[in-house]
Structure formats: C-alpha cells, structure tokens
Amino acid sequence: MGVKYGLPLVARSDARLFILGSLPGDASLAASRYYAHPTNQFWRLLGCSIEEELHELSYEQRLARLADRRIGLWDVIASASRPGSLDQAIREAEHNQIEHLLTDFTELRGIAFNGSTAASVGRKLIGKPPPQISLIDLPSSSAANTKPFDEKALVWTSLRQFILPSEPFACAGRRAMHDRTDDDR
C-alpha cells in the first residue's frame, strides 16, 4: 500500500474561514481537485451556506467564488497510507501544519472541520485558538455519512457567520424540493 499525498492549501491571504477535511479520497486525488467524487455533498452543502449553487459551476469557478468569499480549503493530513478512501483506513498519517493558519492568516475568524476525523486531528493540532477564532465541527460531506442532507445543511449554514450577514435561508427546504422525484410533484 503506497503513501497518498494530499492537495495544496487553496486560499487568499485575507481568508476569514478555512474548511479542513481529513485527506482527499481517491477520486479527488486522481482529479487533483477538492471534493471531486460526484456523491460527495461538499459543494452543495457549502453552497447552502453562501447562498450559491456551487455544485453547478466548474471547479475553477468554485474556487474563484470561495476566494471572493474569503474561504480557504485544506486538509489536516498531508500524507498517509490508506487503501481506498475511508478515513477509518488511514494509517501512518503525517499532518499538515494547520496551526500556522492562526498566524499566517491575520483575518481568520473560523476553522471548520469537515467530518469527525478532521475535527479530532485538527483540534489536537490547533490546541486552544485565540479568542477571535472559532472552531466548528461539521458533519462529513462524504456519502459514507448517511445523515440526511437537510440535517447536514442545518449545521453547515452556521458557516454563514464568517462570510455573510446573518439572515434566514431555507436551504433544507430548497434541497427537499430538488430531491423529490417527478412522481412526488
């Protein structure tokens, strides 16, 4: 089993929010793109938070929108041995120096962890953040997390406090409408 290496940090220097995953899955590594697997709900969940249909855009357009919204992406694990894409199979992990986010990004106000592995590892690496930086645990956007989309989206919309003024947004209701089949309409 070979070592898998993660993707580089993606962010502008004025990023206010970072979303950190564990280690990209095989589809993402093969495509050299964050959250490339078609069943991963990352782009739809984040789209609910910033009120944009990110999943309909090209990857380059998605990254441009994140940059405009001052959102950065990275992972807590730099490299590891792992058969397949499940976090539970990660072995011999080397970590990214995510604690440097606290000093390298002076506008940073939030670090969100996409899934329990990212949260567990990330919180240990960061320790106690400065008072102006919040740490947020998100339900994993992976299809392996079978929690309903609406439940995930409810937690993910908490990210809006770092990127948009606080206002009501019914992402879960919109998603439910999109999830219905023609027979349901």
Q: Which residues are catalytic?
A: 40
Q: Is 99 exposed, middle or buried (0-12, 13-18, 19+ CB in 10 A)?
A: middle
- Mind listing the pLDDT tens digit for each residue in 119-141? 999 999 999 999 999 999 999 99
Task: Write down all domains in the chain, each with its CATH number in brackets.
Answer: 3-179 (3.40.470.10)
Name the pairing type of β-strands 17-21 and 71-75. parallel
Round to whole Å and give the CA distance between 182 and 126.
47
- Mind listing the pLDDT tens digit for each residue in 86-105? 777 789 999 999 999 999 99
Round to whole Å and give the CA distance between 6 and 168.
35
The chain-wide mean pLDDT, for the chain, equals 88
Residue 176 has pLDDT above 80, yes or no: no
Q: What percent of the chain has pLDDT over 90?
A: 76
8 Å CB contact between 133 and 108: yes
Lowest mean pLDDT among 16-20, 40-44, 60-64, 181-185: 181-185
Total residues belonging to the chain = 185
Confidence of residue 171 (pLDDT cuts 50, 70, 90): low
Higher local confidence (pLDDT), 89 or 8: 8
